[in-house]
Every structure is written in C-alpha cells, then in structure tokens.
Amino acid sequence: MIPLTLDSWHRVELDLRERLWTCVKQQFNVDGSHRRYIMSAMGRSWRNYKSILTRKIRALVKSNDVTRKLEALKGLKPRNIKSERQWQRFIKERIFVEFKRTQLSEDASTIHDDALTHVLGKERNRRV
C-alpha cells in the first residue's frame, strides 16, 4: 500500500496516512492516543522491509548466474510497484555506489551522535 519508491517515510502523503490509520482502526480496537506510536511502528516496518529487500537485491547482483539473477529479481518485485520501469529504477538506486556511501555516512553520523549522547547525557529542556 505504501510505495517503496519513496526515499523517506516522511514523504508519504497525508491522505495515505489517514487511510492507513482508518484501516488500523477498523481492524483493531485502538483510540487516537495510540496513533503516534502505531504510525511510527508502521514507518519502522516499512524501512525494515526496504532494507531486507535491498540486501536481497545486492546479494543477487553479486551472483554470477545472469539468468538466475534476472528471474530472482522479477520474483522480488513487490505488488505495489506497478511498472517494470519503477522496479528497475528502485534496483538501480539500491545497487548504486553513491547510495551505499550515503547510507554509510548516515550510519556513521548516527553512531557519532549516539556516542555524544552517551558521554554528555541526554539534552533536557530547561526553564528560562
């Protein structure tokens, strides 16, 4: 339901988020106070699925058997990616060297931020 071609969960349109929330409320007995947690859990699941798919794509691209590679890549295509062109673009993004560098640099900056938080402590909101 959520397009994998988006680069960030924050780019999911508001009307789609509303439809997702409506579906959750229809399936489960939840009230509005749980919305933020549930939506963030959906975002984590969406990113996790993209990550798993990326690892599978990279593993297939490394293999030597071209025929097996093409068939396996077709088998990995999710139902919500409608066109073959979108799927090919998604694959190219995932195996492109710059994508890997971007991911590594983001991971490194996150690790650095976590280390500073660990040493200096969590920022607290103070009264002025």
Domain membership flag for residue 99: no
Select the more confidently predicted residue: 44 or 79: 44
Domain membership flag for residue 66: yes
Contact predicate 92/108, CB 8 Å = no
99-108 confidence digits (pLDDT tens) = 566 555 555 5
Domain membership flag for residue 123: no
User: Per the structure, how many domains does the chain have?
Assistant: 1
Domain membership flag for residue 21: yes
Domain membership flag for residue 23: yes
Alpha-helical regions (H) of the chain: 14-27, 35-62, 66-76, 84-95, 97-120
Domain membership flag for residue 19: yes
Rounded Cα distance, 53 and 59, in Å = 10
Domain membership flag for residue 14: yes
For residue 59, the enclosing domain spans 9-94
Q: What is the pTM of this model?
A: 0.65
In the numeric block, the tokens 């794509």 are attached to 57
